[in-house]
Amino acid sequence: METTIRTAVPLAVNLDNTVSTSTTSSEVQPDGTVTDGSITSKNGSRSGDWKSKIEIGDLPVGAEKVSSSAEEDWKRDANHPRNWSKRRKWIAATVVGIYNFMGPLPSAMMAPALPEVAQKYQIANETVLALTLSIFLISYALGPLLLSPLSEMYGRTWILHISNIFNIAFNIGCAFSPNTACLLAMRFLTGFSSSAPVAVGGGSISDLFAENERGSAMALFTIGPLLSPALGPIIGGYITQTLGIKWLFIIIALICSLASVIGLPLLRETYAPVVRWNLAKKSGDLEMARELNPSVIAARGGTPAQVIWVNLSRPMVLLTRSFVCFVLSLYQAFNYGIYYLMFATFAKFFKDTYNFGPGMGGLAYLGLSVGFFISTFACIKYSDKLYMKLAEKNGGKAGTAGLHRPSSIT
């Protein structure tokens, strides 16, 4: 199994939707390839193990490769997400960016309201109070381990839509939580549903744009989580100050509802194998639909439970057997740790030291956002140029290990 890591989220397939049937033998190759089990070799030989029927490439898990001519026809098909009009691609990318803005918003808006949370729920323990904010991050980190592989099996779009709907429900649950335990439970579930955009959003951008034009689209995608810490604490602080902590969560739910109103009619499936499968079913080509349906693996030696297990375990295999993936994950964990340390302490510090209310306390987070925006606009300006320059140095060949631009791997 050849796996190219190009985003912060470990993906189980090549983001360029290219066919890759190289195999795994439970080891890490020198180029960072993670192998897991006995699958197929490049020449197509198979080991006979049920896992050997799981291939990674342009087809969903469990699908058989079709002829090369059919593959070429599909790559030129107008229904292929890479061949959509620019307008349609950028609309889809914008919706994904909106969902990505929704992800960290429940955390950002709550940060300046921690003193009010302590007062409402009579929380005297500083650790428990910080946990009401940081427990969101625990499930926010665990969610992609489940949602990312599911998106490779069943598509990305409905994971984004459904997760946002759950986000609405869990934030309403936070608003009406009668005690600290219930609030912690709702915050944990909110973090899980909020993780969907960061888990599959990068894959959606890669579905739509080629490598040499992906930098600007990824910048649009990543600007959402940068807007959240810029606007979230300010909005959340003044809402808490004027309406109370209950209305803070209700308004978060209303904002997420607005995102669903925009996203449901405008965002369609971007993952090419699932688009292809749906077209085959719609056209009545039952044989093609059968070949492209990942559930057919059940009739070819593996049960659905086995297929799901292999897909869900693959991120952990990447994390534990790929040194590059582990180091990048550790680096991101450190960044988020510092990020949430500031989130959890700014509100109390500025209230105790300068007697700031929740509204004024939210303004203290603007300094973080200025740095985020500077780095994002630098990425927009230089990312694609840097990529093309590196590719030119490599003889025009794209995607070679060691020549990725920073935004491709962090």
Residue 293 confidence class, pLDDT cut points 50, 70, 90: low
pLDDT at residue 245 is higher than 80: yes
In the numeric block, which tokens belong to residue 301? 């030696």
* Weakest-pLDDT range from 16-25, 58-67, 167-176, 303-312: 16-25
Distance in Å from the first CA to the final CA of the chain: 22
In the numeric block, which tokens belong to residue 96? 């994904």
**pLDDT at site 258:** 95
Which residues face 20 on adjacent strands?
Answer: 56
Domain boundaries, the chain: 81-272+320-409
- Residue with the larger pLDDT of the pair 352 and 302: 352
Q: How far apart are CA 335 and CA 382, in angstroms?
A: 23
**pLDDT at site 58:** 43
Contacts of 274 (CB under 8 A, 6+ apart): 60, 154, 155
Using the CB atoms, write b or e for 183-222: b if 16+ within 10 Å.
Answer: bbebbbbbbbbbbbbbbbbbbbbbbbbebeebbbbbbbbb
Range from 88-102, 103-117, 309-323 that averages highest in pLDDT: 88-102
Are 322 and 88 a contacting pair, CB within 8 Å?
A: no
* Weakest-pLDDT range from 108-112, 238-242, 367-371, 376-380: 376-380
In this prediction, residues 180-189 reach a mean pLDDT of: 96
Q: How far apart are CA 195 and CA 84, in angstroms?
A: 27
pLDDT at residue 170 is higher than 90: yes
Q: How far apart are CA 236 and CA 210, in angstroms?
A: 38
Residue 407 confidence class, pLDDT cut points 50, 70, 90: very low
| This model's pTM is above 0.95 | no
**pLDDT at site 76:** 84
CATH code for the structural domain at 81-272+320-409: 1.20.1250.20
Give the tens place of pLDDT for each residue, 326-381. 998 898 888 878 877 887 788 778 888 888 887 787 788 888 778 777 877 777 67
Are 136 and 106 a contacting pair, CB within 8 Å?
A: yes
Residue appearing with tokens 């759950």: 166
Give the tens place of pLDDT for each residue, 40-73. 333 444 444 434 443 434 444 444 444 567 677 7
